[in-house]
Amino acid sequence: MGAPIVYLIGAGPGDPGLMTVKGLECLAKAEVVVYDYLANPRFLSAADPDAELIYVGKKGFSTHVTQDEINAILVEKALEDGGKIVARLKGGDPFIFGRGGEEALALYDNDIPFEVVPGISSGYAAPAYAGIPVTHRGITTDMAFVTGHEDPTKETTDVNWEHLATAVGTICFFMGIKNLPVITERLITFGRSPETPVALVRWGTTPRQETLTGTLADIAEKAAAAKFKAPAITIVGEVVNLREQLAWFENKPLFGKTAIVTRSRAQASDLSERFVELGAEVLEFPTIKITDPEEWGPVDEAIGNLAVYDWVVFTSVNGVDQFFDRMEEMDADARQFAGCRVAAIGPATAARCMSHGIRPDYVPDEYVAEGVLEGFGERGVGEGTRFLIPRAAEAREVLPDTLRERGAVVDVVTVYRTVLGAGEQSVLTRLAEGTVDVITFTSSSTVKNFMKLTEGTDIAATMDSALIASIGPITSDTARDLGLTVGVEAEEYTIPGLVDAVVANIAASGAE
């Protein structure tokens, strides 16, 4: 039993990087998370895994939970079991057309403590991502935020159109797409020039961002022709003209592209973040899950006898993490490696070794077994050299078998298994819709499991049109064996190399 408190958190306009540090901290300690339609679902990964998640989807112009019902949920959950920590996650800022004030008053009326965590508002963030500063010296020094979600049939309006039309240089309308014809007509009627530039920014700050420009005279007609829909911000003013020079987000190399990342959820972040930084929408589809070996006995024995080995070879980041985690369980640490040398296949594996206090003695220039063997030969590996290779249960035998052929004594221990992941139904839907541009594979197991998880799903159109991107030749061979057409293969068999290959391919395709 604890003291009740509700955090009214502004989650920002959509880009997960625009969530405040305090917002994430409050979200992480919440026992209940009440979230709405415009809050990026990726934020939910920052919540406690045991937290109760309650969706109160407030999507414009469709059936949704009423505000009174949301208020009641916040009160009920805050008082539940003697008091709970509740995070109310809202798109944008809770006090800028977020109805956070109404929720705060409901909590006040019920003597429930609350805190407001302001968020970055889409009113200025969406224009900024579209290359439109809402104020600019020499153009305008004032602006207004206005709701565009008024009922055009009601007899009175809460907006003072007569003064608004000409009082400020920039006007940002929230939720105004449905009423766009009324908005433009009223602004013109009360003195704003029909030639005033206007921009509509949909899904601002996200890879789905769309921008449509025009004037007060024609933007409503253009929006109707383009079937432009909510959620969007409408920006009225001369600052819109700066977009031609200042548009930056939509010029990113992968903007507008959708990429599927098939790595395990624990591994996906690096690849996902690189794609997001380049403007892509990322769909995570974890085809594999990393689990412990069926038994730790052989690993425990190897850790206890590290001194007898000349080399320990780590072939993956997972292998490093699992091995060192097990060492910690046995109250051992990096000092166990004092008598042996360490090889790490790939820069990411080497970096993970260093994070555990071990600087590898050998990081091969090539990241497949065949290339690694040449380097060992140059380092005097031969008859009687003792190797320990902690790795996955299922792995290629080229490296250990060839070392044995050269007279080495090789012990292979399983430190993790890769099992079939769960995938995501929403991603299967996108695959069936044909709205995916890139599918990435970082290992043979990701290819095999992707094919298993998509069995019975009609994804033929996507597989014919999407770019299949492979991290290296072994993965590519597996993909081809399973009937896939590999469109691009990384020259350097790393995550950065894979991303570089995708960017180069798409740039070349765009230039054709």
- Do the Cβ atoms of 355 and 324 come closer than 8 Å? no
Cα gap 171→234, rounded to integer Å:
8
pLDDT tens string 323-346: 999 999 999 988 999 989 999 998
- Do the Cβ atoms of 43 and 16 come closer than 8 Å? yes
SS3 163: helix
Phi, psi (degrees; rounded to nearest 5) at 88: -100, 105
Final residue before a domain boundary, out of 120, 150, 171: 120
Q: pTM of the predicted model, to two decimals?
A: 0.80
Final residue before a domain boundary, out of 249, 274, 301: 249
Q: What Å distances lie between residue 64 and 58, 59, 107, 125, 325, CA to CA?
A: 5, 7, 21, 26, 47
Question: Is the torsion defined by CA of 388, 391, 393, 395 positive or negative?
Answer: negative
Q: Using alpha carbons, select from 349, 335, 343 the residue that is nearest to residue 379.
A: 343
pLDDT tens string 69-86: 999 999 999 999 999 999
pLDDT value of residue 367: 65
Cα gap 127→405, rounded to integer Å:
64
- Do the Cβ atoms of 43 and 28 come closer than 8 Å? no
Looking at the fold, whether 406 and 308 belong to one and the same domain comes out as yes
Instruction: Name the amino acid, one letter, at 437.
Output: D
Q: What is the CATH number of the domain that holds 233?
A: 3.30.950.10
Looking at the fold, whether 116 and 128 belong to one and the same domain comes out as no
Token pair belonging to 21: 């540090």
Looking at the fold, whether 216 and 234 belong to one and the same domain comes out as yes
How crowded is residue 137: how many other Cβ atoms within 10 Å of its Cβ?
A: 7
Q: What is the CATH number of the domain that holds 333?
A: 3.40.50.10090
Looking at the fold, whether 280 and 429 belong to one and the same domain comes out as yes
Host domain of residue 356: 292-418
- Do the Cβ atoms of 367 and 494 come closer than 8 Å? yes
State the catalytic residues.
36, 58, 175
Helix, strand, coil percent values for the chain (each to nearest 5): 40, 20, 40
User: Buried b vs exposed e over 89-127: b needs ≥16 C-beta within 10 Å?
Assistant: bbbbbbbbbbebeebbebbeeeebebebbbbbbbbbbbb
Cα gap 226→220, rounded to integer Å:
10
Q: β-strand 143-147 against 170-174: which pairing, if any?
A: parallel
Q: What Å distances lie between residue 312 and 308, 349, 355, 374, CA to CA?
A: 10, 13, 16, 16
- Do the Cβ atoms of 168 and 140 come closer than 8 Å? yes
Looking at the fold, whether 176 and 116 belong to one and the same domain comes out as no
pLDDT value of residue 155: 66
Our measurement of the distance from residue 112's CA atom to the centroid of its chain's CA atoms, rounded to an integer in Å, reads 34
Token pair 């997972």: residue: 318
Looking at the fold, whether 27 and 45 belong to one and the same domain comes out as yes
pLDDT value of residue 60: 47
Cα gap 443→473, rounded to integer Å:
10
Partners of 36 in the β-ladder = none
Cα gap 85→283, rounded to integer Å:
30
Looking at the fold, whether 346 and 458 belong to one and the same domain comes out as no
User: What is the domain count for the chain?
Assistant: 4
Looking at the fold, whether 198 and 227 belong to one and the same domain comes out as yes
Looking at the fold, whether 167 and 217 belong to one and the same domain comes out as yes
As a dihedral over the C-alpha atoms of residue 453, residue 456, residue 459, residue 460, rounded to 10 degrees, the angle is 120
Q: What is the pLDDT along the chain (512 residues), one digit of tens a residue?
A: 579 999 999 999 999 889 999 999 999 999 999 998 766 777 888 899 899 999 987 554 445 688 999 999 999 999 999 999 999 999 999 999 989 999 999 999 999 999 999 999 999 999 999 999 999 999 999 999 999 876 555 667 789 999 999 999 999 999 899 999 999 999 999 999 999 999 999 999 998 899 999 999 999 999 999 999 998 999 999 999 999 999 999 999 999 999 999 988 778 788 999 999 999 999 999 999 999 999 999 999 999 999 999 999 999 999 999 999 999 999 998 899 998 999 999 898 999 999 999 999 999 887 666 667 778 878 888 889 999 999 999 888 888 998 999 899 999 999 999 999 988 888 999 999 999 999 999 999 999 999 999 998 888 878 889 999 999 999 999 999 999 999 999 999 899 999 999 999 999 987 55
Partners of 198 in the β-ladder = 214, 236
Q: What is the CATH number of the domain that holds 23?
A: 3.40.1010.10
Final residue before a domain boundary, out of 384, 403, 418: 418
Looking at the fold, whether 132 and 193 belong to one and the same domain comes out as yes
pLDDT value of residue 423: 81
Sheet holding 85-90, edge to edge: 52-55, 32-35, 85-90, 5-10, 114-117
Looking at the fold, whether 233 and 338 belong to one and the same domain comes out as no
Partners of 174 in the β-ladder = 147, 233
Q: What Å distances lie between residue 255 and 142, 297, 507, CA to CA?
A: 31, 49, 11
Looking at the fold, whether 297 and 408 belong to one and the same domain comes out as yes
